[in-house]
Chains A and B, each alone.
Chain A
Amino acid sequence: MLIEEDYITEEGDFVVNIGPQHPATHGVLHLKVWLDGETIKHIEPHIGYIHRSIEKMSESLSYRQFIYVTSRMDYLSAHINNQACALTVEKAMQIEVPQRAKVIRVLMAELNRLTSHMLWWGCTGLDLGAVSPFFFAFREREIINELMEDTCGARLTMNYMVPGGVMADLHPDFQRKVKEVIAQFKVNIHEYDQLLSDNVIFQERVKGVGYLSKEDAISFGCSGPTARGSGISCDIRKLYPYDGYENLKFDEIIEQGGDCWARYKVRIAEMHQSMSIIDQLIDNIPEGDFQAKTKAVLKLPKGEFYQRVETARGELGVFIVSEGGTTPYRIKYRSPNFSNLSALPTMAKGCKIGDLVAIMSTIDLVIPDVDR
């Protein structure tokens, strides 16, 4: 209610409700926009249209069950959400995860990051009025999804990571198929540049648009490519490594621009980094168990446990308060999209409506993750 009173509607203000059903919001986000002609004076995001009380539901689910719900938060990086939960439980119970399981997890997480960034790239083109990139992005994404289907049995909400490792061993064809798709994508990613990045109209649309200063990014708690586009080092894989990221060679991509173009470049470069991580691991999957031996019913010791991971959109934190039982006392997710969305009004102030769409697509919102 405080936010409602922040802005006082003046005489002659043109108020447009963008959403909850609108082609540009990628879900049920409702933006109340005050306009002066085409220029945005103020934005008020209204959230909660897809709130499913995932945090409350998790309180009545066991430590094996609550992971499956988290696939529905940020559905484009379902693996990484699952991984965060599994890591928290393992941390609390001090389960030693086998080396093979760790490598499989990282491989899956990076493939997942690739698919997520592919979809983002397609949607960015679509939002800016170029329809074709969407289809080009789906070309490789489809193959990776099929690959997920082979091993995990699902394409979007994989539910593959479990406390102690992964649910099942890799499909026999996994290595061959991954190598094929990565080799193909290394060629095809240049089409991404040809089609969108090098286009003059596209660059005009994103350069200098939606500026987010370093200070603002920190104070809004932005993370992931949104913050790294403003020059903040915040890659959890580098700062607080988990699952063996400390042994891998990859760069943290940081751009200083702070505009849509910087965020765009961060994501494109991250795709290259993800491919390099996959290249390092795909031939070096160690033999052994894919899962540590755990009891059928998991019991966490009394206490508070926190683990963070880097999803495709930023920092996801899982906070579990346990009273020693088989279900958590309280679970809190620190979702990247919620914080990134809070920076939208600052970024979009003074922009045109067309810019608002560009900004929303470069912070890559997934609304179910905002509402949870």
Chain B
Amino acid sequence: MTLLYSLSGLSYHIQSWLTRLLGNTMAVLVSEMVIVGLCLIGFLVLLSFTLGYMERRVAAFMQLRLGPNRVGPKGTLQIIADTIKLLFKEGLTPTNADKFMFNLAPYIMIITTMLVTAPLAFARNFQIWDLNIGVFYVSAVSSISVIGILMAGWSSNNKYSLLGAMRSGAQIVSYELSIGLSLISIVILTGSLRISDIVMSQQNGWWIFKGHLPALIAFVIFIVASTAEINRAPFDLAEAEQELTAGFHTEYAGMKFAMFLLSEYVNLFIVSALAATLFLGGWMPFHIGSWSGFNHVMDFIPSSLWFMGKTFFVIFIIMWFRWTFPRLRVDQLLNLEWKYLLPISMLNVLLMTLVALLGWHG
């Protein structure tokens, strides 16, 4: 049954057709670099449209208003209209800006976010690159985005941008530690950094249930820290509209601004997908112990739907507290990480090791 929804058959046919047409080396080059790359870009753009629309509707739902409802059915085309507007806007570069760095920064942002999507398992056997250090790769590559933000803030020659970039630098560097430690606590349980291994290890129960209390703590810390990592409210100090107008992207307009926006939404998707993969079982269907009838019904739901459903659940949680909480101050933000989250997650790793040693996670 599951084969029906698996894309491995399709990808195999494309691969063999290309091999016949172009020869082995060229086929790999074309299929992997071009087709996959283009599909990925298309998918991510479509995804950020969806997330942009979802964010507006969720915000409107929480704020006693309707949200976009004029362009297209239920306002679904509003985001496309906005994109067209951004496309036609002039991409201004300030006179005293460092032009090379100013124009490079949005590309660095977008490239890093695209790179991080590589090891994500979107469905059963559907993964772009299942490398053996998957989790480590994600946390390593996503760190590069801070360079893009610092570059944007510095080269804009604007004091608000500089302050925003400095805040963001401090924030991302410190919250990465908590993210890393909460990732490690799951890696301890699975014994592998490979994303597919992590998903397969949750066949008889998701880590958030099987990992007892430490897994729950790690999940909460991961959500909090990753919200800070992607600069979303209540940790959006790098943008902080009321304090720094727009923070590091104050001077950007048009498509360059759109790239920051795109990378923000793709980052949101990535951290939610990671949370879903590590703690909520990725594309694994929901199973309850010995209820074989129930488990069988659950298996009918395609694995890609399971993955997307879990991811969007986490995305909704992150949007939920964006529209509920006020913003933290910069010193409170760093206090939260260094005084609370980091010690807790260090202890949590020890606890998790204990759980793994005693074999309670079976």
Interface residues of A (CB under 8 A from B): 14, 16, 22-24, 38, 125-132, 134-136, 139, 195-196, 199, 201-202, 204-205, 352-357
Contacts and interface: CB of A to CB of B under 8 A. Distances in A.
B64 interface: yes
B157 to A, nearest CB: 14
A24 B243 contact: yes
Contacts of B324: 130, 132, 195
A135 B64 CA distance: 7
A142 to B, nearest CB: 10
Given A135-B64, A353-B163, 13 more contacts: A125-B326, A129-B236, A129-B240, A129-B325, A129-B326, A131-B63, A135-B63, A136-B64, A201-B326, A204-B329, A354-B237, A355-B329, A356-B243
A132 B323 contact: yes
Contacts of B240: 129, 354
A23 B247 CA distance: 12
Describe B's contact surface by its main secondary structure. loop
Contacts of B233: 129
Given A136-B64, A202-B326, A354-B327, A131 B242 contact: no
B324 to A, nearest CB: 6
A126 B242 CA distance: 8
A108 B327 CA distance: 35
A135 B65 contact: yes
Interface string B156-190: 00011001000100000000000000000000000
A91 B191 CA distance: 86
Contact of A353 (B243, B325, B328): B243
A136 B63 CA distance: 7
B338 to A, nearest CB: 16
Query: For this complex, into which size category does the number of interface residues on chain B fall?
Result: 20 to 34
A347 to B, nearest CB: 16
A128 B330 contact: no
Contacts of B244: 353
Interface centre among B242, B323, B330 (most CB of A within 10 A): B242
B62 interface: yes
20 contacts: A14-B159, A16-B159, A16-B160, A23-B241, A24-B242, A38-B163, A129-B241, A130-B325, A132-B62, A195-B324, A196-B326, A204-B332, A205-B326, A205-B327, A205-B329, A205-B332, A353-B244, A354-B237, A354-B327, A355-B329
B234 interface: yes
A259 to B, nearest CB: 14
A14 B163 CA distance: 11
B203 interface: no
Report the 3 A-B pairs with minimum CB-CB distance, sorted nearest first.
A129-B327, A135-B63, A128-B326
Contacts of A139: 64
A352 B331 contact: yes
Contact of B234 (A125, A129, A353): A129
A357 B241 CA distance: 11
Contacts of A357: 242-243
B54 interface: no
B333 to A, nearest CB: 10
B59 interface: yes
A127 B242 contact: yes
Interface of B: 59, 62-65, 159-160, 163, 167, 233-234, 236-237, 240-245, 323-332
B143 to A, nearest CB: 23
A360 to B, nearest CB: 10
A22 B243 CA distance: 9
A201 B242 contact: no
Nearest to A356: B243
A192 to B, nearest CB: 13
A362 to B, nearest CB: 13
Contacts of A125: 326
A199 B326 contact: yes
Contacts of A128: 242, 326-327
A354 B323 contact: no
Contacts of B242: 23-24, 126-129, 357
A337 B236 CA distance: 31
Nearest to A138: B64
A354 B159 contact: no
Contacts of B331: 352
Contacts of A136: 63-64
Interface centre among A16, A126, A201, A352 (most CB of B within 10 A): A201
Nearest to A195: B324
Nearest to A353: B243
A101 B240 CA distance: 47
Nearest to A15: B159
A23 B326 contact: no
Contacts of B326: 125, 128-130, 196, 199, 201-202, 205
A14 B330 CA distance: 18
A353 B328 CA distance: 12
A187 B358 CA distance: 53
Given A201-B325, A352-B329, A132 B243 contact: no
A299 B240 CA distance: 54
A201 B227 CA distance: 15
A127 B242 CA distance: 6
A31 to B, nearest CB: 12
Contact of B59 (A22, A131, A204, A205): A131
Contacts of B163: 16, 38, 353
B348 to A, nearest CB: 21
A355 B243 CA distance: 9
Contacts of A134: 63
Nearest to A24: B242
Contacts of A195: 324
Nearest to A17: B159
A221 B324 CA distance: 36
A130 B236 CA distance: 11
A127 B159 CA distance: 20
Contacts of A135: 63-65
Nearest to B335: A204
Nearest to B65: A135
Contacts of B167: 38
A354 B167 CA distance: 12
